[in-house]
Amino acid sequence: MEKARYIVGIDLGTTNTVVAWTDAEKDDASRINVFKIPQLTEAGVLDTRDALPSFLYLKEKSEIESPSFALPWCQDEAAAVGEFARNRGAEVPGKLISSAKSWLCNAAVDREGAILPWEVTGSGEKISPVEASSRILSHIRDAWNHEMALDDPELVLEKQHIYLTVPASFDAVARELTVTAAKQAGFNDIILIEEPQAAFYSWLDQSGESWRDSVEKGDLVLVCDVGGGTSDFSLIEVKENDEGALDLERVAVGDHLLVGGDNIDLALSYFLAHQLKEKKKKLDAWQMRGLVHSCRNAKENLFSDQGVEKYPVTILGRGSGLIKGTIKASLDLKDVEQVVLDGFFPRCALTDEPMAATAMGMKEFGLSYEADPGITRHLARFVSSHRDDAGNVKLPTVVVFNGGVMKSTLMRRRVLDVLSAWKEGVGQGSIREVDAIDFDLSVARGAAYYGQASQGDGVRIRAGLGQSYYMAIEASMPAVPGIPMPTRALCIAPFGMEEGTQAESRDRLFNLVVGETVTFDILTSSTRKEDGVGEVIDNWEDMDIREMSTIETHLEGEDQALIPVTFEVKVTEIGTLEFWACSRDDDKKWRLELNVRPKD
C-alpha cells in the first residue's frame, strides 16, 4: 500500500454514514477527527453535519435544473443524498431510497439490478442497491475533495487509505458487492472492517493504555450494536499470548438482524396514532410518515438523559388549511418506556427463542425484517449458541454498547439486567459495562484506529471469517427412481480463516462441469466452527447449515466435460473471499466469481 497523508474510516451505515480521519504527517497523528460532511439540509441550504443520512432522493427534472438543489461540486446531480433527501423523501416516498445497505445482503433479489425504490411500480428511475451505496460514497468523496483537497490533488479521498465498515454478519457476497460499490465511487484501494470490531477499536482508542485495566485474561466481551436499522452482536475473547501480554480474538458473530431504531420510531408512531384514533382523529398515510419522523425526535429527546418527562408532537393537517388542521399531541416518558422496553428489550430467559413469523399463505416481498422485534430474545439465541468444550453456555463478562439506540441509559440498563439474570441463573458471576463516549460516531472512529493499528500503531483484534462457507455437491451414488440425488456440504472456507491467508484441499477429487452453464449453491453456518477445508457433511440441512446464494456461470472448456479438480480458497487482504477449482491434470484453474443471481 502506497504512502498516503490520511487514514480514513467510513461507516457506511443503514441510516447514517460517518467519516473519521487521522493525519499521518502531524505530531498528533494518533488524534482521530470526525469529518463534518457538507450536504443539503433543505432546499437552497448547504450545511455540515457529523453524519450523512444514508437516504437518496431521486429528483424531478425541474429539481435537477434548479440552483436550489445544487451542490458546490455538482450543479445537476440526479439524486440528493443526506438530510434533505431524507426529509424530502418522506413527503415523496416514491422517490426515496433507504436501507440500501440492507438490500446488499438480500439474496432473494438481483442486488446489481435497478430495483430501488422498491415499492414503486411503473415508469420512473430506479437504481440498484450497489449503485445506491456507490452514490452515497460518491457524495462522501466529492464532499471530502471539496473541503480537504481543493488546493492539493494529492489529498483527494481516492488517494488516501480507506477503511470501510460492514456488518460482521455480512456474507462473502454482500462484502464483495460493498467493494464493488466502493470501486464505482472511485475507491480502488480499500480495506473492509467489521462494525462491532470497529466499535471495540474506538473504545481501545479512547481508553489508551488503560484498556488493559478494564479487561483481563479470560474475559468474554459482548459488542452489542443496535443502530437505526439493524442489530449486530459479536463476542471478543481476551487471551494471553506467549509473552504474557493480552491478546484479543473475535470468536463469534451473530446473524444480520433487521430490527433497530427505525422499528422503535414506527412502534411509537402507531402507539400515538392509536391514542388519536380513540379521540376520533384518524391519520392518513401522509400524516403517518410525518408522525414517524416526529416520534424519532421525541424518542431521542425523552431518552437523552436530560430529565425530559414529556415531549410535544405536531402533525400537520391536509389541504389548504394546514395550520388550522394541525393536530397536537405528546409522548410521555413512561409510555415510551413501556412501548420500547417491553416491546424491544423484554425480560426473557436464556432459553427463549425469537418468535417465528406467522404462517401466512402469501407475504409481501421485500427486505427480510425480523418477525420478532424483541432484541433481547435474539441476543439470548446468540449468546446461548456460544459454548465451551464441555458444551456449557459461555456467557459474556463485559459489554461494549454501540449504536444510536444504545445512547439511552434506560436501554443499556435493561440489557445489563437481562444479562445479569442469565449469569445468575447459571452461576457465572456478574457482568460489567465499559464506558463508551459516542455511540453514533464510534464505528467510523474505530475504523480509522484500525487503519493506524494495521500500520503498526495500535492493538489489533484477531478475527477472520465470521462464518464457515460450504458448497453443495451432488453425491456419487446410484440413481433411485422418484428420489432426487442428495447433496452434501463441502467446506470451502472455515470459520476464523484470517485475511491474507489461503488454504487448499488436495486429498480429495471432485468433478467440475465445464463447457455449459451450471449453478453452484453456496451455504453458510455461523455456529459450525470446527469444520475444516475439504470436509464433507452429510444431511447438512439438519446441521445448522443454511443456503446463502446461488452462483450461475459458464466455465470455459470442452462442451459438457467433467474435469477432475481439487480446490483452493483465499481470504483477501481487503476481506473478500476467492474460490478456485484447480485441474488435477494441468495448471488450469477456474475462479468462481461472486456475481450471484437471486436464490430460487
Q: Taking the C-alpha atoms of 415, 421, 423 and 429 in order, what is their torsion angle to the nearest 10 degrees?
A: 100
Q: What is the pLDDT of residue 456?
A: 77
Contacts of 500 (CB under 8 A, 6+ apart): 571, 572, 573
Question: Do residues 12 and 93 both lie within one domain?
Answer: yes
Could you tell me if residue 325 is inside a domain? yes
Residue 328 and residue 184 share a domain:
no
Region 195-212: mean pLDDT is: 88
Q: Is the pLDDT of residue 488 over 90?
A: yes
**Span 219-246, mean pLDDT?**
88
The pLDDT value recorded for residue 30 is: 64
Report if residue 240 sits inside a domain. Answer: no
Same domain, 166 and 84: yes
Report the alpha-carbon distance of residue 515 to residue 244 in Å, rounded: 56
Render pLDDT for 164-194 as a digit per residue (tens, 0 to 9): 999 888 888 899 999 999 999 999 889 999 9
For residue 269, give the nearest of 231, 310, 297 by alpha carbon.
297
Q: Does residue 420 form part of some domain?
A: no
The CATH number of whichever domain residue 121 belongs to comes to 3.30.420.40
- Residues 267 and 183 grouped into a single domain: no
| Number of separate domains in the chain | 3
pLDDT for 359 beyond 70 = no
pTM of the shown model: 0.86
Same domain, 287 and 169: no
Residue 277: predicted pLDDT: 87
Cα dist from 239 to 201, 247, 498, 594, whole Å: 16, 5, 17, 35
Does 162 share its domain with 57?
Answer: yes
In a domain, 128, yes or no: yes
Pick from 193, 216, 242: which residue ends a domain? 193
Q: For residue 597, give the DSSP letter.
A: B
pLDDT value of position 304: 73
* Per-residue pLDDT tens digits for 403-457: 989 988 889 999 999 999 999 988 888 899 988 778 889 999 999 999 988 887 7
Q: What is the pLDDT of residue 420?
A: 96
Q: Which of 155, 173, 193 is the last residue of a domain?
A: 193
Q: How confident is the model at residue 364 (pLDDT cuts 50, 70, 90)?
A: low
Say whether 325 sits in a helix, a strand or coil: coil
- What CATH number does residue 326 fall under? 3.90.640.10
Residue 65 is assigned to a structural domain of this protein: yes
Confidence of residue 224 (pLDDT cuts 50, 70, 90): very high
20 and 164 housed in the same domain: yes
Rounded to whole angstroms, how far apart are CA atoms 238 and 250? 9
Q: So what's the pLDDT on residue 83?
A: 94
Q: Which of 176, 193, 210 is the last residue of a domain?
A: 193
Structural domain includes residue 451:
no
Give the residue-averaged pLDDT of 563-588: 91
Is the predicted pLDDT of residue 62 greater than 50, yes or no? yes
Residue 306 has pLDDT above 90, yes or no: no
Q: Are residues 167 and 89 in the same domain?
A: yes
- On whether residue 231 sits in a domain, the answer given is no
Question: How do residues 308-346 score in pLDDT, each as one tens digit?
Answer: 889 888 887 665 544 456 788 889 888 888 899 999 999
Domain coverage including residue 124: 6-193
The pLDDT mean for the chain works out to: 88
Share of the chain above pLDDT 90, in %: 49
Q: pLDDT-derived band of residue 54, with 50, 70 and 90 as boundaries? A: very high
pLDDT for the residue numbered 323: 47
Treating both helix axes as pointing N-terminal to C-terminal, what angle do 409-426 and 375-384 enclose, rounded to 10 degrees? 40
pLDDT-derived band at 480, boundaries 50, 70, 90: low
- The pLDDT, as a whole number, for residue 468 is 93
| DSSP codes of every residue in 447-469 | HHHHHHHHTTSS--EE---SSEE
Q: Is residue 253 part of a domain?
A: no
**519 strand-pairing partners:** 552
Q: How far apart are CA 470 and CA 472, in angstroms?
A: 7
Higher pLDDT, 94 or 163: 163
The span from the CA of 339 to the CA of 100, in Å, is 28
Does 181 lie in the same domain as 33?
A: yes
What is the per-residue pLDDT for 595? 53
User: 22 has which bridge partners?
Assistant: 7
Total residues found in the chain within this entry: 600
Cα separation, 149 vs 141, in Å, equals 10
Tell me, yes or no, whether 39 and 147 share the same domain: yes
226 or 325, higher pLDDT: 226
- Element spanning 489, H or E: strand 487-493
Contact 417, 450 (CB under 8 A): no
pLDDT digits (tens, 9 = 90+) for 524-553: 998 898 999 999 999 999 998 998 888 888
